[in-house]
Structure 1
Amino acid sequence: MPLVLTAAAITVLLIMIMKFRVHAFIALAVVSFLLALALGMPLPEIAGSIEDGLGSTLASTGLVFGFGAILGRLLADAGGAQRISTTLVDRFGRRRVQWAVVVAALILGIALFFEVGIVLLVPIVYQMAKQAKVDFLYLGLPMGTGLSVMHAFLPPHPGPTVIAEQYGANIGAVLLYGFVIAIPTAVIAGPAFTYFARKYIPSAFTRTEVGVLAKLGQGKQFAPEDTPSFTSSTLTALFPVLLMFGSSVVTLVQKATGLPKNWFFHAVELIGQPTTVMLLSVLLAIHTMGIARKIPMSQVMQSAEGSVKAVGMLLLILGISGSLKEVLIDGGVGDYVAVLFEGSSISPLLLAWLIAALLRLAQGSATVAALTTAGLIIPLIEGSDVNLALLTLATGAGSIIASHVNDTGFWIVREAFGLTVKETLATWTVLETVISLSGFGFVLLLSLVV
């Protein structure tokens, strides 16, 4: 019954948005309340659950998106985004620009959380699309693919890192097998899928109106000599990656060597947190894109203020989508799915993927789906000779299937690319499913040889 109620709630949400044109923020709020009532949650707890979901989502993404929006606008208004995009298009050529985006997203996705990667790359990819004279989504989907694949399969991202620890998998093996799986999966779900998506949902690729994050990259066009250097622009854009990557490496070394934590490791851990990373990156951008170029501070702050105003509604939508997710968790939908598989005799790899996939469909969060699956699978693998690194990757593959309206990432992508709900379902939801199925397929192939 909880799954039926969840499906009914999602159907109501889609009807409200797509047929009656109710704004996503209002529709999500109404459906969250209705679903909480339908699931039988105690009346005094419903409002608190919705507030907790909104609060926890904004706590983890609000500052990241705010600082990321400022960084993107400063790069655009100073000409840095134009310099990066022009240089990449010139180096790779217009025919290979899609592959340039995939490679860049895969590299940046090693260190960047998905949300950070989206908010940083969308303005630059928008500029690249303009320079190469191609549709924005033609580059946007491969970019999202690269980030999503890394988020699902590679440490130091939270899902695969924590799952590997719970399973007792060797983190080095997870990294190695993760790379082997990630590259072909990114090719299939990125350029290959985009080729077909362009044919069956052409309206998503020919939009003239773009999302709020892309608009951050709509700075005025500069003459090449009036833009910052490629080195300065790239350093500013990649600074979050460098900080996160450096912090991750130090943390992995500390754990591998068993060194006790001291003030240095605590400081590195603080610096590697997304919020700290983005704040430090904004401070660098104020210097490289403003002070160093003799731009008045008042003008720099005007760009910063305008960028934050632009993402205000996006933040509300993300927050209330977290409320729907919280209701699903507090209402016991995830627990219900878990009970269905108790005592199952299915292959551990298939079982891990299947449970994670159903939990993802039911409650939206990839991380929650992955961690819940790990807790259920651990008792079932005692005495089994299953490869724990592959089990980690199978769980990660299942946890990202079919991103839809109960997933914050769905709304991030919709708002980033200015899509309708229907277009987002036909592109992003299908793309995430392709990543999940392809990734799991490669896990099964690897299990035959390792």
Structure 2
Amino acid sequence: MLFSELNLIAPILKALETEGYTQPTPIQEQSIPSILQKRDLLGCAQTGTGKTAAFAIPMLQLLHQPHLNTKGPKPIKALILTPTRELAIQIEESFKAYGRNLSLRHLVIFGGVGQKAQTDALQRGVDILVATPGRLLDLMNQGFVNLRDIEIFVLDEADRMLDMGFIHDVKKVIAKLPAKRQTLFFSATMPTEIQKLSSTILTNPVKVEVTPVSSTAEKIQQAVYFVEKQDKKNLLIHLLKDKSIETVLVFTRTKHGADKVVKDLMKINVRAEAIHGNKSQNARQRALTNFKARTTRVLVATDIAARGIDVDELAHVINYELPNIPETYVHRIGRTGRAGLSGIAYSFCDGEEKEFLDDIEKLIGLKLPVNEDHPFALSWQNLLAAAAEAKGKGKKKPNQREPRREREPNLSGAKKSYKPHHTGSTAGASAGGGNRRFSGGGSRRRD
């Protein structure tokens, strides 16, 4: 199917052509007609499936009123609520791209920056508002945002909201929405609390579900490097001697770890920057912009900060530290191999991380190939010995989760039961197809 077969108006089709898109992804093909019919929608979709365009394109068409002239500031007609700043920015950029030929105004608001520019824009009038929960509630309480005229409400990444402790804020926002509205609800997983929330805010919804990312196995070449923890720095430097690695996204589990990797690389004149929760929003955006422009070769990220990273033609991802949640691995490597392109993902594993590797391989249904062709190789026997030693000493595994506290992520409730399906020697996360496609955000772990 082509976008031209989805009954879209000419200005939107022209914008899609400008972006180079002709063929919708499965979730777009399934969602756009129902949304245009003003149906509520429940979408179960991972990142990288094109869900942002699945709701942005039909929303722009429904809100487009070319002959309507209103005096004074425009009331907010649509609200998209999303968990992180990076994802909010990405969604607003999508509205800008697909709505370039329309007269609709859109705005993104989030915390971590001054509010004056945001409140000034709100007072001039906005049709479509993209927001994170905290800043939205702040501006609502100050009287800058009124939701009484909302016609379309989108709750994006609902399970992520639950993980990050935002679910109560989300319910406060929903309580201020008009009862008569169209609601679009997206979540990668459906834990009990998210199921209950969806049933209370959706009316006879159309249900759309796309293949989980862990079951696609076409595009990403993967390898694991067994290495002592103290040798990971040298292994990374060794790999970066390969000039074919023009840019690489490196993942660490902690903010401190990300900063340390950047410092080590800068010492050998490799341009690197970090993005994590302790960085200001401006610093994070600057680092991402530099990475996309290829003035920064290595971007080091924690999982939550990487949510929403979407870089065209990113060929390499390196897991400097393995995640302690296996689904996070799938999301991490899914930053590459996007839009039908190939990708490469390397993972470093020390003795303490052996259990994490076991969990990952169980999830994806594949034993990752081991690369021993490097100067710091740790044999399988030595890896097992190191793992046994760490376990025997009762050593706490890296980033082992503590008992849940108030406002901490409810990770146990958000875990999805994937059905592994692999036929080749690689496993990954790809939107598939040779046609250029849309993609979305990143991982599910708080840093």
Higher relative contact order (CA 8 A, sep 6+): 1
- TM-score, normalised to structure 2, is 0.27
Higher helix share: 1
Structure holding more strand per residue? 2
